[in-house]
Amino acid sequence: MTTISEVAKTAGVSKATVSRVLSGNGYVSQAKREQVFQAIAATGFRPNLLARNLAAKSSHTIGLVMTNTLYAGSYFTELMQHSARMLEQQGRQLLLVDGKHSAEEERAAIQFLLDLRCDGIIIYPRFLSIEEMDALVAQYKHPIMVINRQLRQHDSYCIYVDQQLTSAHAVEQLTALGHRDIAFVTGSLDSPTGQARLAGYKTALTRQGITVQDALIVEGKWQAQQGVMAVETLLARGVTFSAVVASNDEMAIGVLQALAAHQIAVPQQVAVLGFDDIPLAPYTIPALASVKMPVTDMIKETLERLTFMLDGGELRQRKNFCGELQVRASIGPGPYAAHAP
């Protein structure tokens, strides 16, 4: 492996001159700079990334920690796509590191990015608690932003959608259409998002004076097959339902498929609503009504706050986000439409 000493010898300059050229710090004449670059090309020298990051003030990288169980699905594809695109516009590189399957492994992923001297870190947590993330933000000088969780002590360092409020608003729009017997397919109930969307469903029914029926709630795991199984479960239970709310669009598409297989018309007999508004949602038959999450705006806000901190600013602002229902053909008036407010 070629060393910096060999590059210096080939270029006829000192090691310090080569280091200044590589780090971009300190004055080097254009002639000597060209000598160094020619020597690098001739020797095949590849500078050690960690060494460069240690020497430089900025690595021009932002790390993103996310567990691999979240990689699937359009929502997370959109999140990573927008992150990479916006960072590219800033001249920075996105480094994705797997948080794997535990809080300990998420902490290890964060430490890995800190060791690489990333300028800042974004965490999309799956296992770390609110208390642990608050402690991480306080512990490190590097700016750390948290997506999709609300911190208690550092609320300027988190960007999140109020999932419970968003879910409640969506369900209330169904009740306004005259639906009262509304089934709900949960996401994974060890997920904060899954828990919050279920809580929002229950809150909306309670506000409208509608009794929450456990028989109308079916646990899912975010995948389309769980939507199919949810319909089969509801039919096997013999419960009456005029609408189904699924905690994400993949499961809602499964619901549509299962209802079609049983020749249950959507939305004439059963309305269907999903979450996340994936690109496929407008193209299902019928087009799927879905709650759109402001992923682009959330990533933009996250990167703006990181940039502000990297420029020496002290965060004090906070901003809440909510999803917005995209009304499409899969929802319509319910049996109680004549009595709806």
Tell me how far apart the alpha carbons of residues 266 and 289 are, in angstroms, rounded to a whole number: 11
Query: From the centroid of its chain, how far is CA 279?
Result: 16
| Length of the chain measured in residues | 341
Choose the weakest-confidence range: 107-121, 213-227, 300-314. Answer: 300-314
Q: What does the pLDDT look like over 318-336, one tens digit per residue?
A: 777 889 999 999 999 999 8
At residue 7, the pLDDT reads: 82
Tell me how far apart the alpha carbons of residues 11 and 21 are, in angstroms, rounded to a whole number: 12
Position 300 pLDDT exceeds 60: yes
Query: From the centroid of its chain, how far is CA 254?
Result: 22
163 token code pair:
């999932």
212 token code pair:
């929450």
CA Rg value for the chain: 26
At residue 220, the pLDDT reads: 95
Choose the weakest-confidence range: 20-34, 44-58, 76-90. Answer: 44-58
25 token code pair:
């710090």
- Non-local (6+) Cβ contacts of 153 within 8 A are 134, 137, 138
Tell me whether strands 93-98 and 61-66 are parallel, antiparallel or unpaired: parallel
Q: What does the pLDDT look like over 244-298, one tens digit per residue?
A: 999 999 999 999 999 999 999 999 999 999 999 998 999 999 999 999 988 888 8
At residue 182, the pLDDT reads: 98
From residue 112, how far is each of 97, 142, 245 by CA, in Å? Answer: 8, 13, 40
Tell me how far apart the alpha carbons of residues 337 and 243 are, in angstroms, rounded to a whole number: 13
Q: What does the pLDDT look like over 69-118, one tens digit per residue?
A: 766 666 777 788 888 888 888 788 888 889 888 999 999 999 988 888 88
Which residue's structure tokens are 């279920």? 198
At residue 72, the pLDDT reads: 64
Record the pTM.
0.74
Q: Residue 192, preceding bond cis, omega within 30 degrees?
A: no
23 — pLDDT class (breaks 50, 70, 90): low
Tell me how far apart the alpha carbons of residues 201 and 218 are, in angstroms, rounded to a whole number: 13
Tell me how far apart the alpha carbons of residues 87 and 148 are, in angstroms, rounded to a whole number: 19
Q: What does the pLDDT look like over 194-205, one tens digit per residue?
A: 999 999 999 999
Question: Per-residue pLDDT averaged across 137-152, rounded?
Answer: 87
Higher pLDDT, 214 or 17: 214
At residue 88, the pLDDT reads: 84
At residue 24, the pLDDT reads: 60
- Non-local (6+) Cβ contacts of 163 within 8 A are 192, 193, 196, 197, 200, 323
234 — pLDDT class (breaks 50, 70, 90): very high
